[in-house]
Amino acid sequence: MKKKSSLNESNIKLIFGLKLKQLRLEKNLSFQALADAAGVSVSYLNEIEKGKKYPKAEKIASLADALDVSYDWLVSVQMGKQLAPIAKLLQSKLVNELPLDFFGIDKSQLFELLSGAPVKLNAFINTMIEIGRNYGMRVEDLYFSTLRSYQEMHDNYFEEIEQSVESFVKQHQLDPSKPISADSLVKILEEQYQYIIVEDGLSNQPELQELRSVLIPDKQPRLLLNKNLSRTQRAFILGREAGFRFMDIENRSNTTSWVSFDSFDEVVNNFKGSYFSCSLFLNRQNLIEWLKEVLSAKSFNVESFQELMDRYVVSPEILLHRLTNILPRYFGINELFFLRFSTQLDSDKYEITKEMHLSGLHNPHSNMLNEHYCRRWVSIDILKDLFREVKAGTYTQSLCRVQRSKYIGTDKEYLIISFAKPIVFGSEKHNSVSIGLLINDQLKKKVKFWNDPQIPIRMVGETCERCVATDCKERVEKPLFVTQQQRVENMKVALGALMD
């Protein structure tokens, strides 16, 4: 059979099986009746319909005769009206790149269920495909969205990786009560895993200057580092490499930052390596003890955060991300989010380049409609402060701000801690990272500084386009969405009056 479709083999089997089942049911044939007519066993026919087997040409011809359809139509990927959305879904990136097996979902069972779905559900499937296409969803977007879901399902805490870190520390006779040095990791990588580490390994590759590291895998792996790395970036990369080797992870990205991913396994494994590195530098027991002291204080102490980062040579992003591991597990604070904003010096464009939400989608969150995020958010306000310091030449270390954000029109309020710094010292690319904690009864019991009078309280919105605040001096766009909503409501009132 000549396959003209770009579908992979497993999807072709699924389509053939679904078509066969639909035809059999349309003609009111039982498994036994069709099996007898086509000269195949009932068990074999069942395997075909489930998409697990693909018959040979002579069996396909027998099935086509028994069902009174042409051979060519039966082997084509064209499907009837009812199953057309399933075929469309099978040919879309959405399902071909979605790691169903990772979540224990049998693709054949899923599509067997969908094949019997009502027309309205099939219309919904079509809608999802169109949304993904219209918004330019890339495979990488799908992978990272799935990874976030995976993290959120586990409250972003993975005991097996925590134990791997403890085993690594014990095996290499490192002192868990003291900071892990980058030099000790260099020694382990060179002596234990035969690495060659090139400190200035990318200067001769102008196209690779944006990358922090490149691994050239071999019997003696070569780790090429960007000479402009900060101490924290270099240490994190070394910890990540140690994690990959100790956890015996082969299928991973060989670059930092990533250029592309070939599979979802790569994405998950990269996450595991990063988690290992964060856990290695910020030992969970040390961090728990530090948090007990910090959270029990009645006022927010930014110096304690800076001292911790300096002591353990970690960036604000590593610290805040590590808090998303520890706070839910050991302090019962699980309604939180993590955000990273990126921008350029003197730019008024702010982009969310990393986010995670535990226990539901919180505000703020990313918006793919090119709307303008609320300028009252501390995550954006702190970047403006950073711009001023960088331009004045007074910037020396990462900035920290804390804010209580009350969302207009809701009862939601968040305690938000935000840091901002250039990606590397002297760079015009700047990031802010923030952790937001929903202020509820649980948080008030655990975080004593939640109502510190020195912490500013601000009314905030989602985006300018959706904000009802009429007195906002920070607004950079008119409330277009709100205006449109009000126009529709006015029309409904007018229509109601007309009908009375």
pLDDT by residue for the chain (500 residues), tens only, comes to: 344 444 677 778 878 888 888 888 888 999 899 999 999 999 999 888 888 888 999 999 999 899 888 888 888 877 665 666 666 666 655 555 566 666 666 666 666 655 555 455 556 556 655 655 555 556 666 677 778 888 888 889 999 999 999 999 999 999 988 999 999 999 999 999 999 999 999 988 889 988 999 999 988 999 999 998 999 999 999 999 999 999 999 999 999 877 777 778 888 999 999 999 999 999 999 999 999 999 999 999 999 999 999 999 999 999 999 999 999 999 999 999 999 999 998 888 999 988 888 877 777 777 767 788 889 999 999 999 999 999 999 998 899 999 999 998 888 999 999 999 998 767 789 999 999 999 999 999 999 999 999 999 999 988 888 888 878 888 878 888 878 888 888 888 888 888 87
Alpha carbon distance 375, 472 (integer Å): 9
Question: DSSP readout, 145-173?
Answer: HHHHHHHHHTTT--HHHHHHHHHHHHHTT
∠ Cα 98 100 106 (to 5°): 140
Q: What is the pLDDT of residue 25?
A: 84
Question: DSSP readout, 427-480?
Answer: -SEEEEEEEEEE-SHHHHHH-GGGG-TTS-EEEE-SBGGG---SS-TT--S--H
Q: What is the pLDDT of residue 4?
A: 42
65, 275, 412 from 466: Cα distances, Å: 60, 36, 16
Pick the CATH number of 9-137 from 1.10.260.40, 3.30.300.210, 1.25.40.80, 3.40.640.10: 1.10.260.40
∠ Cα 232 216 262 (to 5°): 90
- Listed in order, strand segments (DSSP E) in 175-256 are 196-198, 213-216, 222-225, 255-256
| Ordered alpha helix ranges (H), 194-283 | 231-246, 264-281
3-state helix, strand, coil in the chain (%, to 5): 50, 15, 35
Look at the block and give the residue holding tokens 């990031």. Answer: 431
pTM score of the predicted model: 0.77
Question: DSSP readout, 28-48?
Answer: T--HHHHHHHHT--HHHHHHH
Residue 41 identity: S
Whether residue 320 contacts residue 340, with contact meaning beta carbons closer than 8 Å, is answered with: no
Instruction: Judge residue 489's burial from the number of C-beta atoms within 10 Å of its C-beta, 0-12 exposed, 13-18 middle, 19 or more buried.
Output: exposed
| Structure-block tokens of residue 6 | 């770009």
Q: What is the pLDDT of residue 161?
A: 97
- The residues near 368 (Cβ < 8 Å, ≥ 6 apart) are 135
For the domain made up of 153-281, give the CATH fold: Arc Repressor Mutant, subunit A (1.10.10)
> Domain spans of the chain?
9-137, 153-281, 287-463
Alpha carbon distance 432, 316 (integer Å): 9
Q: What is the pLDDT of residue 382?
A: 96
